Chains A and B, each alone.
Chain A
Amino acid sequence: MIEIRDVTKSYGSNAVVDRVSMTLPAGGLTSIIGPNGAGKSTLLSIVSRLMPMDEGQVVIDGLDVSRTAGDVLARRLSIMRQDNHITARLSVRDLVAFGRYPYSKGRLTAVDVEHIERSIAYVGLQAFEHRFLDELSGGQRQRAFIAMVLCQDTDYMLFDEPLNNLDMKHAVETMKLLRRLADDFAKTVVVVLHDINFASAYSDRIVAMRGGKLAFEGAPKDMIEPSRLQAIFDVDCRVHAVGEKRLVNYFE
């Protein structure tokens, strides 16, 4: 369970995250949606201790993230960020192997190697595992970073816009993969998403942010609704029910 209590982060007088409190239960897939500048990525960075908060507290399974030792948290929680710029020239396998650092501190055991191979296979990059990252397409690189998070094998996995740079096929595959993590491996997956239809189709819960504040939260069937979406995004849209799924048409 991730408990976020009165978390605030401001730059000067501008609060990018403004007294946000919420509880994300263990298990399932939670999507965070909202317009640009709503504070979604900042909140995710604070939860994963990449960014210090000005006020408030984040507690993950009873561990206060600002006080717990880094390597203890690294075995509980992993994050994949939006921009992954790396100076070092790494192959896919090198990168994925870093996911085992919290366990092996650089000395890979047979178990670690098994994890690495399974993660690479999971994202379908076996054929590319010895390629360097700068020789891959944007989508392949994105999947390599996802594999690194898989390899870290934590109970909580946070993804900041994992569908960036992905084509339809790989976007769907990635979301199915995240879904499987939640369903088959009982992981708690939190995803920042821009595509509202992916959020609608794949989430157990949707959290909406706007202007640094928590706007709404709930199950997709309650959240995907024209008046709410209007309040969150300022966009007129129509919602169609297709089978059990709700699809949003915001193109007109």
Chain B
Amino acid sequence: MQADIKRASPAGMLLVTAALALLSMLAFMTLGARGSWAFILSFRGTKLAGMVLVAYAIAVSTILFQTISGNRILTPSIIGFDAMYALLQTVMIFFLGAAGATAVDPRFQFVIETAAMVGFSVLLFRALFSGGTRSLHLLMLVGIILGGLFRSLSSFLQRILDPNEFVVLQDRLFASFNTVNAGLLGISAIAVSAVTFVLWRLFPTFDVLSLGRESAIGLGIDHHRTVTILLVLIAVLVSVSTALVGPVTFFGLLVASLAWQITPTASHRFVLPIAVCLAIVTLVGGQVILERLLAFNTALSIIIEFVGGLVFIFLLVRGSAR
């Protein structure tokens, strides 16, 4: 197994995963189609576009977060992004009521949420991140504690919430790929393109950053500045994916771990696209199985989190947790 992986070429691996991703997208668009193609293509196309955006955002944000933290079992949710999203939703329903919250333009809501999450992360970095590896760890620890605080606050508010409104809230907090928020696709695509443009310019630094802070500085990288920019971009990507489908904790970990495992090189030129392709295969392919084989009897996120949890334990047991 090990030897086979080593002999496989990274470009070949990328081709294989890209082909699989295309295949699952094709399957999603055409399988079991009955009736007017115009309707099917636009109906499924919206859903597909949402899933591809989410797959891209989660894969890229998780890989980059792991690169700057030098740790392969972390995901951006560790800084409390998921918990913050849940708190924002809870507060909104609590103060505006279910009807009021539903009436707010989702695009406006998206901008507010993204601004809050980016603002929160920038504040956290400004206060705590002085550049060293140790301060990155401190940042994460504080993030974990704040995440706990957000979670307790939301569960407190949820307890005193009207039961009817609580049901509306719960629906929003369960990640669902089935009800991709179509109204947000345009603005999400713009946000993701802007992030991608900046990432493209920073691309050569990713491999160097994975050598660790000291080596990166020794090779001439402005570590503090680069890491701060990357953390902000990660915050935007996480906001996009949570706004579109809701919080997904393990999905990123699953995809990133698989990508590091099967890519025969540590170069981001291959790991990043392979992770994105794997994310598309998992999301879109999983959705096909859910719709065609399981007849919508469960939610995709439940399957993904179940498998993600197993992979997580597998990684810990294998000792690749570093």
Bound-state Cα–Cα, A65 to B219, Å: 14
Stretch from A15-23, A100-108, A114-122, A192-200 forming part of the interface with B = A100-108
Distance between Cα atoms of A159 and B207 in the complex (Å)? 23
Q: How does the 8 Å CB contact mask read for B214-225 relative to A, with 1 for contact and 0 for none?
A: 110111111000
The distance in angstroms between the C-alpha atoms of A106 and B209, with both chains bound, is 12
Q: Produce 1/0 per residue, A34-52, CB < 8 A to B.
A: 0000000000010011101
Q: Which of B212, B221, B265, B267 contacts A85 (CB 8 A)?
A: B212
Residues B218 and A78 in contact, CB atoms below 8 Å apart = yes
Q: Given contacts A70-B222, A86-B211, A87-B70, is CB(A49)–CB(B217) below 8 Å?
A: yes
Which residues of chain B have C-beta atoms less than 8 A from A74's C-beta?
218-220
Q: Which of A81, A86, A88 has the most CB of B within 10 A?
A: A88
**Chief secondary structure at chain A's binding surface:** loop
Contact status A94-B265, CB under 8 Å: yes
Contact B214 A50 (CB under 8 A): yes
Contacts of B155 in A (CB 8 A): none
Give the chain B neighbours of A178 by CB distance below 8 A: none
Interface size class of A (residues with CB under 8 A): 20 to 34
CB distance B322 to A75 under 8 Å? Answer: no
The answer to whether B208 and A98 touch across the interface, beta carbons within 8 angstroms, is yes
B212 CB, min distance to chain A CBs, angstroms: 6
Across the two chains, which residue of chain A brings its CB closest to B211? A86
Residues of A within 8 A of B213 (CB): 50
CB-based contact B72/A87 at 8 Å: yes
B129 to chain A, nearest CB (A): 14
* Interchain CB contact under 8 A, B217 and A50: yes
- Is A222's CB within 8 Å of the partner chain B? no
Q: Is B145 in the interface zone, CB < 8 Å from A?
A: no
B204 touches A87 (CB 8 A): no
B208 touches A101 (CB 8 A): yes
A48 to B212, CA, bound (A): 15
Contact between chains at B70 and A73 (CB < 8 Å): no
CB distance from B220 to the nearest CB of A (A): 3
Is the pair B266, A94 in contact by a Cβ cutoff of 8 Å?
yes
Interface residues of A in 61-99 (CB under 8 A from B): 69-75, 78-79, 81, 84-90, 94, 98-99
- Is B220 a contact partner of A88 (Cβ separation < 8 A)? no
Residue from B211, B214, B219 in contact with A88 in the complex, judged by beta carbons closer than 8 Å: B211
Tell me which residues from 102 to 131 in chain B have a Cβ below 8 Å from any Cβ of chain A: 131
Judge whether A73 and B266 touch: CB under 8 Å: no
Closest Cβ neighbor of B266 among chain A residues: A88
When C-beta atoms are compared, the residue in chain A nearest to B208 turns out to be A101
| Residue numbers in A under 8 Å from B203 (CB-CB) | 106
Cα–Cα distance between A49 and B218 once the two chains are bound (Å): 8
User: Considering only CB atoms and an 8 Å cut-off, how many residues of chain B contact the other chain?
Assistant: 24
Q: Cβ of A174: which chain B residues have Cβ within 8 Å of it? A: none
Q: B210 an interface residue at 8 Å Cβ cutoff?
A: yes
- The answer to whether B220 touches A71 (Cβ under 8 A) is yes
Q: Check if B215 sits within 8 Å of A98, measured CB to CB.
A: yes
Complex interface bits, B294-322 against A, C-beta within 8 A gives 1, otherwise 0: 00000000000000000000000000001
Q: Which of B207, B214, B222, B265 contacts A98 (CB 8 A)?
A: B207
Q: Name which residue of chain A comes closest to B269, CB basis.
A: A106
Smallest CB gap from B204: residue in A: A106
For A152, list chain B residues within 8 Å (CB): 218-219
Would you call B212 and A102 a contact (CB within 8 A)? no
Residues of B within 8 A of A75 (CB): 220
Smallest CB–CB gap between B314 and chain A, Å?
A: 18
A71 partner residues in chain B, CB cutoff 8 A: 220-221
**A88 and B218 within 8 A (CB):** no
* Contact yes or no, A87 B210, CB < 8 A: yes
Instruction: Tell me, in angstroms, the Cα distance from A94 to B211 when the chains sit together.
Output: 11
- Proximity bits, A121-136, B CB within 8 Å = 1, else 0: 0000000000000000
Contacts of B222 in A (CB 8 A): 69-70
* Most chain B CB atoms below 10 A, which of A52, A75, A105, A152: A105
Asked if A87 and B214 make an inter-chain contact with CB atoms under 8 angstroms apart, the answer reads no
Inter-subunit contact B220/A102 (CB<8 Å): yes
Distance, CA A144 to CA B322, complexed state (A):
22
- In the complex, what distance in Å separates the CA atom of A208 from the CA atom of B149? 51
Give the nearest-CB partner of A52 in chain B. Answer: B131
B164 nearest CB across to chain A (Å): 48
> Which residues of the other chain, B, contact A49 by a CB distance below 8 angstroms?
217
Query: Which residue of A is nearest B69, CB measured?
Result: A87
Contact with A along B53-86 (1 / 0, CB 8 A): 0000000000000000011100000000000000
Give B contacts to A, CB under 8 Å. 70-72, 131, 203-204, 207-208, 210-215, 217-222, 265-267, 322
- Given known contacts A50-B214, A70-B221, what 4 new A-B pairs fall within 8 Å (CB)? A50-B217, A74-B219, A81-B215, A94-B266
